Chains A and B, each alone.
Chain A
Amino acid sequence: MDWLHMTMPIAGVEVFWPGLVILGLGVGIIGSFFGMGGGWMVTPGLNILGFPMAFAIGTDITSMAGNSLISTMRHARFGNVDYRLGAVMVIGTVSGFEAGAQMIMWLESLGHVDLFVRVGYLVLLALIAWVIFTDVQAKRRRDAELRAAGRAASGDEGGIQWHRKFHRLRIPPMIHFKTSGIYCSVWLPIGVSFLTGWLAGILGIGGGLIRLPALIYLIGVPTHVAVGTDLFEVVISALYGCGSYTYKGRTELLAAVIMLCGAALGAQIGAVATKYVKGYGIRLFFGVAVAGCGLSIAFKLAASAFPAARWFFDPAAAVLILGLVVALAGFIVFKFLRGAREEIAMKRAQQRSYVEK
């Protein structure tokens, strides 16, 4: 079975290449559905496949640049991309990302980069999962109250509404984002994108994991538009990150290209699947993904802290992250197939009735 393994010319490690294609396919489906690059899956995934963390981050960002470009193109066709908002956020994203990337280089020289990245991931994932589940719970409570009062459910309204407070800040210049239906201070998206870009640079991710909830909860962008706009941002930040990490010699280009072959199919499936799922459905499953990923990082940290129990925690982390990717990708593919089947059946029925008339 030697043909299933390939030596990566830059990193010099032997890698199970079908694992890279599967990882690309999974991240393409999930990333395109949730509007993110998928660094939270790919960086640990590449690490599990045998890449050193420094190469895992650069390679991940490089494949993410291609993957998110494919997803953005598909989402743009559905009107899910707010280019104006994305362009404004580029300023904060790029400067924040470079600050984060410089910080990770400094930490690497101190020799604590793996620990720092994992602890950072864990804290961030816990916080995001908490926000999303609190939001979903608040939304359910509100819908139950509306139903009790004999009124219709609130659509995407009803959960956490932090953005309303931020919209009241009238720091000039003010700006109108038509696609998102938002009027706010231009400093709000710039500030939010700097913060998310900085975190992305430190953690070696495109930033979608942080930016999607930030777009929804801090800026008030509708879920579907947040997904598309987030991907547009990921393209820019990942391309910048790709250049930055590659120039520092931390990218295994061959691995990124192999992953992109799987991601090309996955990205199309994930983007089309958003047609068939409501905004709050996307939020809820995003929360599940974040919580599962956080648990796998906790296992990795526990393995470092308790070397005697490493035999349990290391495989458990790998199984959990792979299980999560398979389960989420399976769910999205199921939604895609069911939605597509219904849409095609409806079209055929319409054609039949037209012919009969």
Chain B
Amino acid sequence: MFGIQALLVRAAALLLVLPAGLAAAGAAGQRLVFVADSRRYAGWQAWFTNLYNESLAQFTLLTIVLVPLLALALSSVMGFFLSRTGIDLKSRPGGGAH
């Protein structure tokens, strides 16, 4: 048992040290920059590509807010239609067991 514990402690130490080294190694990759060609678009697509080119922070914020909101909305709609079928959507046989 002691042997396994020692091995786990060493593995945990290695895993704690690893991210710092990998973070340092990651810097070179971030030099690659993608640019969307906003000249090809008009309307919302032009706004969309400009947002991407000008502020990745704002584009990220839009993404992480829009995706869960859209998921919640779609889930509610689909759940409503599924509940009309008569299936029990609140429990399963032997719930919580294997």
Contact = CB atoms under 8 A, between A and B. Distances in A.
Interface string B70-98: 11101101110010011111111101111
A99 B25 CA distance: 10
B70 to A, nearest CB: 6
B82 to A, nearest CB: 5
Contacts of B78: 70, 264-265, 267-268
A35 B23 CA distance: 30
Contacts of A70: 71, 74-75, 78
A243 to B, nearest CB: 5
Interface string B26-58: 101111111011001100010011001000110
Interface in A72-105: 73-74, 77-80, 95-96, 98-105
B87 A344 contact: yes
A12 B37 contact: yes
Contact of A239 (B40, B59, B64, B93): B64
Contact of A225 (B40, B49, B67, B96): B96
A274 B92 CA distance: 9
A12 B53 CA distance: 13
A347 B86 contact: yes
Nearest to B74: A264
Contacts of A73: 75
A289 B19 CA distance: 31
Contacts of A187: 8, 12
Contacts of B89: 74, 77, 272
B71 A95 contact: no
A187 B78 CA distance: 39
A19 interface: no
Contacts of B36: 9-10, 12
Given A66-B70, A102-B19, A268 B49 contact: no
A80 B91 CA distance: 10
Nearest to B5: A169
A79 B22 contact: no
Contact of B19 (A69, A98, A242, A251): A98
B71 to A, nearest CB: 4
A246 B98 contact: no
Nearest to A256: B67
Contact of A253 (B66, B74, B85): B66
A296 interface: no
Given A102-B25, A267-B75, A272-B82, A249 B34 contact: yes
Interface of A: 7, 9-10, 12, 54, 62-63, 65-67, 69-70, 73-74, 77-80, 95-96, 98-109, 155-157, 165, 168-169, 171, 179, 187, 191, 194-195, 198, 222-225, 239, 242-243, 246-251, 253-254, 256-257, 260-261, 264-265, 267-268, 272, 274-275, 279, 340, 343-344, 347
Ordered nearest first, which 10 A-B pairs have the shortest CB separation? A105-B29, A102-B26, A156-B98, A264-B74, A66-B71, A99-B19, A106-B25, A275-B92, A109-B29, A109-B28
